A and B are shown apart, each in its own frame.
Chain A
């Protein structure tokens, strides 16, 4: 007996030592563990999220979130709001606020919340709504407790569990409990749990304790890819009253095609005739696709309307044809319908579009957070051509900067397939700048500059041709902000969409570019393509970093020295070779008092370790320094 007792008491001690129970302490900022205060705008004191799945169309999520907020930046970490829509009802919602000693100072009931529409920037209309309360903090720190109960009729999107759901936010205690009353098991995927104090208490119960905050660092991948995250999904689900299937990507894609897409492709007889006429006499399917894509670009525009199941299902082709607008789903589906009618196969493709690269997770089938955009895939030999149907200006098949280099889900009638989109290598994304510069005896110059860009760099430049004259002039003055007092004399831009080459020719002049010092002129020969920014310095870099895209810059500037001057001093050049890329510049004297400056800078995409950051910064530091190289001219 005594033996058992002592074991039990040891067990109890163990429990109370290691397991955290919610006591009054979490309402007072005085009891925040010291180590969680560093680099934290707020501390999650206690979070519990309970998910009760009663049926495929009956799920309840109860949240309780207690957060201590240290400053203005930390206020948003309270996350004291709930979204709702047609198939989501908020049953309870409540906020309590506590001062630093844990004394309750305010209580906010459901009726005090603001009920507002949750339409985001690019959307014209959506039936998504939000209940929130705009709390003005009286003093810092304070602690806020948020409680809610929300009933869902859809089980397609199950929210990730991300205990650290913001930068500069540490976590004292956070847990997820799932009560699954279905015959079916949930699937799980854990990411970035390594070495962290996260415990899988049971199959459906996860617990995190004492997680340090994550500080934002330049060039790091987005937070959701580096912070601990638990994804979970059901193989069978309901979405707005429609039954769905996940299984593997093939199955989900098949379900999607059958239930969401197949019936949306009908066109009017008139439009069918129009499509046939558009491609009259053309045999090659890619040429046909070009003609159809061009028609869609010239005749539609992007307008986003999200109602009911419209979050997942496209508006039918007939409607888009009538109003000539739609969102990414509607416009892609419409283009697909037109293509299908002229015998060109294409596939509705779901993906996560953003300037940063993000894959559809090929190992975990779900909806939550996987995609935010739709494009079209046209099979071409063993590859695909990708069409961005929301853009009225994109060249045919151009994806750089938004949908390139990532795993996407191609939805075929026979099922879904994960495919990687086009990668733009350094030689695909080139910027070539050439210039003829004539310097005069006052240090002023006139120059003819030509910039030719392709690939990702095309994407960075294109669009200037549509600006007003005034704004084009401003653009080039900002682009060359290293030159004081520029006058732009002429701008000619040719956007060759067929070859995807952007060609800018600018005539400009500037007074006193070369700075005078006695009878000398000092000037920087790299006038038109300078790197001036060094990535920020971190005394101790904590996160790895990522360069999303490779590119190549090639520059050649011919500088005519004014009569009566000669070169007193200049360096010959410099070459840098690193794993992040290469840099080289060269200065040569030519006949007729000319200087030729040539420069190449290549940056390599890749995932790099945090230990490499200093070397990366050094590389850029040296480029900045070398881009400032000087030539000294002296009066003869």
Chain B
């Protein structure tokens, strides 16, 4: 078996050697004639070759300059692949030293017409420079004469004086046949590399070094990867942002050495150091001791309160009411906590460091907690860029409470979902730091009571009362607390058949210390079917889950429910006059993977009443891709169960 595998590999790679030459312009007839991708036949386009080379060259005037060279050859199989003939580079502009400039852009479209290779060059008509905003310009180009089957090839350089290296991308939405990446950095700059560990594709990284003598003697460190057949990255429902799973590598400058190769400036080599570097910044730790501007407000606010957690709650609310979030993430303050307080607006750090500072000024143990948000991925190696957000932790004895004052409805230990990623790094007064768990431990509960009365015309009426806590409450408030009652009703009625809702009551709409309570009267005209002399209906009526959201046959990436939760239903059905039970769905308990998820369906007959309890528990919110098939069928069964019918027959 092993031998066979080897032979196949040899044949395939041999094939490629024969037909492909990756020198610019050497596009072959075979590449042009290819009708579909040999491995991924449904791909609309494929990268035949991508070469990315990052290097530094020395100039007398500016020292080392970074140069990124890109060379790509792309095959367009069909019209859906035409987008790949247009490329946009977002480049930094502003300060001249760090400005990114594109040069040497050259492009050719190749078509195969009547046995001949036709070439069309990218001319100035297809190149555009756009001044996007103060900090960004866009250099874009679009290739001429694109048809189904075209091969395009282009190359360009981007130079900058910045030492920061953009992420190295190993995976696209389309397959990459051959990938050739090289990063050469002078020994004076020490970079730490970090792969995306959530990716399902890993390139093999090689490291080496080379001596240079021009313009002086120094060593260049080389990181390289040569890959073939990188599969396309395709989105999957309930996986969160698919970019989190893209195969890529980040490089972070960890130290600058002087000419004697001694560390002149060090950035980060351990989480402890990373945290210290951040803490030392004037836009982080430097903010925490500023207190004059709010002193009086705080003193009055807290004068009669003694409990630290209570104080924290009051301060959190004060900041929420006084400073609005401008939508920007950052671990560093944008304007500083003083002007944020004064102007009433700030970024994440402005707001949460303000909370921390206020609490500290009262002698409360409050600490900033560094976070990597869900769309920032999970940093497994110590890097400063690994953190992009900060929240606040308050300690009382052994227990602690987490605060994020950027959102109106998040509350103690119920943080906005963007924050719930892995763990946080808490920094104490002395700059020391340690990991803490920020994921929700407690299950969020949504509990629903449904009363059902079947009327003479076989319409159904009754009452629904719901109670939601923790994250279930947060989600509900985010959705409905700011909408009008009319829109709230419209949303509840939407896609629920002929349902009419009245007497909607929404308690604790904005009181985040209490669970959300929602109740309403309903009337449903199409809930019960009369067929022959029998009545048929499914007891969850309009509350039943109608379809299984998991439709793919298999998955590459896990399902992420973000937090554990429980959905509970208690349904009381009053039997209509003149009808008796003919048959009832059977009671059932289903479990997925030793209780990671659990579903219960218990129906009891009690005189003229039926009582049904339905519970869905998601105890472990992450469902790995290996377990997907089993989970899909678990979910399918519970959808089926909810559709089962009660049959009543005329007495």
Contact = CB atoms under 8 A, between A and B. Distances in A.
Asked if A pairs with B, the answer is yes
B305 interface: no
B636 A124 contact: no
Contacts of A532: 495, 497
A484 to B, nearest CB: 5
A325 B142 contact: yes
Given A484-B640, A569-B534, A305 B133 contact: no
Contacts of A482: 546-547
B140 A124 contact: yes
Contacts of A520: 583, 647
Contacts of A106: 343
A470 B551 CA distance: 10
Nearest to B328: A136
Given A114-B133, A323-B125, A534-B498, A628 B529 contact: yes
B417 interface: no
B640 A485 contact: yes
Contacts of B584: 517
A324 B324 contact: no
B317 interface: no
A512 B640 contact: yes
A630 interface: yes
Contacts of B147: 298-299, 324
B532 A516 contact: no
Contact of B144 (A325, A478, A628): A325
B123 to A, nearest CB: 8
B500 A537 contact: yes
Nearest to A524: B529
A470 B120 CA distance: 35
B455 to A, nearest CB: 16
Contact of A322 (B144, B546, B644): B144
B534 A515 contact: no
B526 interface: yes
Contacts of B130: 117, 119, 125
Contacts of B133: 114-117
A477 B120 CA distance: 43
Contacts of A114: 133-134
A19 interface: no
A259 interface: no
A81 B42 CA distance: 45
Interface string B118-149: 00100101101011111000101010111110
A484 B534 CA distance: 25
B422 interface: no
Contacts of A571: 531
Given A466-B78, A485-B636, A624-B497, A125 B144 contact: no
Contact of B128 (A125, A324, A477): A125
A511 B636 CA distance: 10
Contacts of B327: 136
Interface in A465-497: 466-470, 473-474, 477-478, 481-482, 484-486
B457 to A, nearest CB: 13
Nearest to B234: A470
A344 interface: no
Interface in A565-591: 568-571
Interface in B475-498: 482, 484, 486, 490, 493-495, 497-498
Contacts of A511: 636
A393 interface: yes
Contacts of B144: 322-325
A117 B490 contact: no
A481 B547 contact: yes
A240 B585 CA distance: 74
Contacts of A139: 324, 344
A533 B132 contact: no
A576 B346 CA distance: 59
Contact of A116 (B132, B345, B645): B132
B577 interface: no
B128 A138 contact: no
A632 B536 contact: yes
Contacts of A2: none
Nearest to B491: A536
Query: Which of A117, A319, A517 gathers the greatest number of chain B CB atoms within 10 Å?
Result: A517
Interface string A109-122: 00000111101000
Interface in B494-509: 494-495, 497-498, 500
A115 B137 CA distance: 12
B643 interface: yes
Given A116-B132, A117-B131, A632-B531, A138 B344 contact: yes
A324 B122 CA distance: 12
A532 B126 CA distance: 48
Interface string B310-347: 00000000000000111100000000000000011100
Interface stretch (B79-87, B383-391, B392-400): B79-87
A160 interface: no
A607 interface: no
Contacts of A322: 125, 144
Interface in B245-263: none
B552 interface: yes
A101 B531 CA distance: 64
Contacts of B500: 537
B501 to A, nearest CB: 9
B643 A534 contact: no
A137 B623 CA distance: 40
Contacts of A570: 531
A469 B548 CA distance: 20
Contacts of A474: 551-552
A466 B80 contact: yes
A340 interface: no
B207 interface: no
B41 to A, nearest CB: 8
Contacts of A631: 531
Interface in B442-496: 482, 484, 486, 490, 493-495
B498 A625 contact: yes
A568 B532 contact: yes
A468 B525 CA distance: 41
B193 to A, nearest CB: 33
A183 interface: no
A7 interface: no
A391 B127 CA distance: 23
Interface in A184-206: none
A533 B582 CA distance: 31
Interface string A525-546: 0000000111011010000000
A466 B148 CA distance: 13
Nearest to A469: B42
A99 to B, nearest CB: 10
A518 interface: yes
Interface string A60-73: 00000000000110
Nearest to B237: A474
Contact of B645 (A136, A323, A522): A522
Contacts of B142: 124, 303, 325
Contacts of A477: 551
Kindly list the 10 A-B residue pairs having the minimum CB-CB distance in the complex, ordered from nearest: A569-B532, A468-B42, A518-B583, A138-B344, A125-B128, A323-B144, A324-B145, A477-B551, A116-B133, A136-B326
11 contacts: A124-B128, A125-B128, A138-B324, A305-B128, A324-B147, A466-B79, A470-B42, A478-B551, A517-B644, A629-B529, A630-B536
Interface of A: 39, 71-72, 106, 114-117, 119, 124-125, 134, 136-139, 298-299, 301, 303, 305, 319, 322-325, 392-393, 466-470, 473-474, 477-478, 481-482, 484-486, 511-512, 515-518, 520, 522, 532-534, 536-537, 539, 568-571, 621, 624-625, 628-632
Given A485-B633, A539-B486, A630-B531, 19 more contacts: A106-B343, A124-B128, A125-B128, A136-B325, A305-B128, A323-B123, A324-B120, A470-B234, A484-B636, A485-B640, A511-B636, A515-B640, A517-B584, A532-B495, A532-B497, A534-B498, A625-B525, A628-B529, A630-B536
